[in-house]
Structure 1
Amino acid sequence: MSGNPARPADSAGLLSHRPALRPGILLSPALLHGPATVHLIKDPDGGAAFEVGVKEYFLIARLDGARSLAEIGDEYADAFGKRLAEPHWRQLLQLLGARGLLAGAPPRPAPDTPAAGPFNGTLLRGTMRLVADADATTGRLHRLLHPALRAPVLLPLAALMAAMEILLASALPRLADDTWWLFHQPVALVAVFTLLWLSTALHELAHGIAARHYGGTVSEIGLRWRLPMAVMYCTVDNYRYLRTRWHQCAVAGAGAFANLLFLLPFLAWWAALPDGDPTRRFLSGLLLLGSAQSLVNLLPLPPLDGYTMLGHALRVSHLAPESGRYLRLRLNDRQAAAAYPRRARALYLGYAVGSALLVVLLLAALATGLYFQLVH
């Protein structure tokens, strides 16, 4: 934005106004998106989020009803060295008013869409809502579990989970043998995968409970299937607008935490049984597969939760596709790639190279493990 060096006299009436955003309008922290730094703005009452630049955000975030446009304009001039002209103010206010974001303006009507029933899709592929009000359901679960969602409880549990993974890693050859045996026992294998499916359901509910704990909302809890697979899902809204990176990462990582927590009682059972007990072999497979399910989900690769956590931690939007875009520019148009800010260049190149190496290492580890298991 740019304007005249001094306030025009004919804009004095406009600049005396003190507009305010509607209560509840959500503003995100700064996010890197490609070469640009952006902020997201959303009306939680059904409005879609849209991006604005740093300068637009500077103005919008100060529309609190207490400061006049003239006062905000002075702050803008101090920050950016330019004063806004009246047309720029009118354009900004018209945009916000059209989207129903200003106090006193009617909310923007939601788009006309057919009422969605509990079932969508076909028998081969679709979704089904399991609860009528997902936010209320997770709210009740959060109230029930709230006393346990505190550091004095969660930190010892996290330490127990870390100790569990160290113990299982030390017994990895035995666990791998037992898991190989499990794959030749159809009834036991079905039982293990049933328990792992239940773990995924708890994983999804954990995302919703964590979101409610930190101020987010949940719009839907349901079942999604692509036959022969069917899994639960929990749609968390507004997590990009939570106050801190820690809160955002905690919501994204809550699922893996719940998966590992689910395994702790089975670890105690496994440790109490003597070697050679068939039940111990069954539990070995459950612990190894459940741990793999949890830890793989923390890898920083899309669409895994670890990838979401990394994006929150770095304050980057669309990290994987933007990394690919930057890498293509670097190979084909170095001038355009050089126009990216230094931080963007480092992050995108680092993620593109690092994620490729991670995939290669995972494939090599998988191939090596299968080879030694087959020749064993």
Structure 2
Amino acid sequence: MSPDRADVFTHRPRLRPEILLSPPLLRGPVTVHLIRDPSDGTSFEVGPKEFFLISRLDGVRSLEEIGAEYAAAFGRRLGEANWHQLLGLLGTKRLLAGAPASEPAAAPPGPPFSGTLLRGSLRLVADAGRTTGRLHGALRPLLRRGVLLPLLALCLAMEVVLAAASGTLLRDTWWLFQQPVALVAVFTLLWLSTAGHELAHGIAARHHGGTVSEIGLRWRLPVAIMYCRVDNYRFLTRRRHQLVIGAAGAFANLLFLLPFAVWWAALETGDPTRRVLSGLLLLGSVQALVNLLPLPPLDGYTMLGHALGVSGYAPESGRYLRLRLRDRQAAAVYPRRARVLYLAYGIGSSVLVCLLAAGVVTAAIVLLAP
């Protein structure tokens, strides 16, 4: 794929159209971009300068034109050796147009089960992309702002009403935990809600140009939940779409509760059915809202990383804080934005965990008090 020496600067190489390039991501002290070949799922990281060049390989601009843009941006002109090295790397990875595409990743042989009876996973559909495509097609008329915004407003209003009745909900939930049959029914509904949560991620991804590679069941006994794996959400050009995909699961959980909230409101206080619904609404709301907390591995943590353009926020924050405690001069190498973000997450997440622990203790005291 390397051009001849004589016409190296007039060459107009082009990336294969399906190659995915991510927006900038802060990882530790450096900014990186991800490059992914969707044909075989391979990906790798490059720095801002390499990304500047690779993103301009459109088959229209010559290397001389790209080199002039690079010199204007970074104050350095590239020579033939630099271009040969870059194009050789891209050619080796089969990312340039004209190179044979990588072989598609083969489907796992044999049964779709992996792991053990105590811990494992099971693929539920053979083609997750086609399944989510069909669901998206069926629900597409509802995926409009004119429909989703009123539904979101109803969900928020429901949560306000439930918050105002939190004392009653807590007492009814405590009663529910003493009713084994009703409790099993409530947890079955909540499990179905988690299935809708995962499928909502996949449908939202499909709606905004993402792809779903796998839908299945994962268990760590005694817990078993569905999962939906979205592959290329990091490569979506609009950050808003990434956030919508992350929030879709919690939104689906709240939508699931809406009809039960209407039923609950229509019943008289003290009605046994109303008390069961109180437990469902409280536990379901906690399930949805806790998922929005910015703690790994929750959806809120993923959304925060998307919003700030940070990869591996929690581990990188911990790494920076440990380095800061050991060697402040070494930590000063981090750019100012990284220092602020990692310090803020370290402090904020610690405070949040303490508040959650205090809330759990307070709720326990309220429930156990005579």
DSSP 3-state at the match of 2:8: helix
CA RMSD of aligned residues (A): 1.3
Residue identity in the other structure for 1:136: R
Residue identity in the other structure for 1:267: A
Cα distance 1:32–1:359, how it changes in 2: closer, same or farther (>3 A)?
A: same
Corresponding residue to 2:314 among 308, 314, 320: 320
Q: Give the superposition deviation at 1:117.
A: 3.0
Q: Give the superposition deviation at 1:111.
A: 7.2
Corresponding residue to 1:352 among 346, 355, 360: 346
**How do 1:176-215 residues align onto structure 2 when only pairs under 5 Å count?**
176-215=170-209
Q: Distance in 1 between matches of 2:104 and 2:313?
A: 30
Corresponding residue to 1:219 among 213, 217, 221: 213
Residue identity in the other structure for 2:24: A
Corresponding residue to 2:9 among 15, 18, 25: 15
Q: Distance in 2 between matches of 1:12 and 1:60?
A: 22
**How do 1:227-266 residues align onto structure 2 when only pairs under 5 Å count?**
227-266=221-260
Q: Distance in 1 between matches of 2:229 and 2:106?
A: 21
DSSP 3-state at the match of 1:39: strand
> What residue in structure 2 maps to residue 4 of structure 1?
none
Query: Deviation per CA, 1:282-322, whole angstroms, max 9, x where unpaired?
Result: 00000000000000000000000000000000010000000
> What residue in structure 2 maps to residue 6 of structure 1?
none
Corresponding residue to 1:361 among 355, 359, 368: 355
Query: 1:164 aligned to 2:150?
Result: no
Identity, % of aligned pairs? 71
Query: 1:279 aligned to 2:251?
Result: no
DSSP 3-state at the match of 1:76: helix
DSSP 3-state at the match of 2:226: strand
> What residue in structure 1 maps to residue 365 of structure 2?
371
How does the TM-score come out when normalised to structure 2? 0.97
> What residue in structure 2 maps to residue 335 of structure 1?
329
Q: Give the superposition deviation at 1:109.
A: 3.9
**How do 1:57-206 residues align onto structure 2 when only pairs under 5 Å count?**
57-109=51-103, 115=109, 117-206=111-200
Q: Give the superposition deviation at 1:45.
A: 0.7
Unaligned runs of 5+ in 1: 1-9
Residue identity in the other structure for 2:244: A
CA contact (8 A) 1:19 1:102 kept: yes
Q: Distance in 2 between matches of 1:86 and 1:335?
A: 38
CA contact (8 A) 2:39 2:105 kept: no
Cα distance 1:85–1:116, how it changes in 2: closer, same or farther (>3 A)?
A: farther
Q: Distance in 2 between matches of 1:125 and 1:208?
A: 24
Farther off after superposition, 355-364 or 116-125: 116-125
Residue identity in the other structure for 2:79: A
DSSP 3-state at the match of 2:188: helix
Query: Deviation per CA, 1:339-376, whole angstroms, max 9, x where unpaired?
Result: 11111110000001100000001001111110121113
Q: Give the superposition deviation at 1:114.
A: 5.8
How does the TM-score come out when normalised to structure 1? 0.95
Corresponding residue to 1:310 among 286, 304, 308: 304
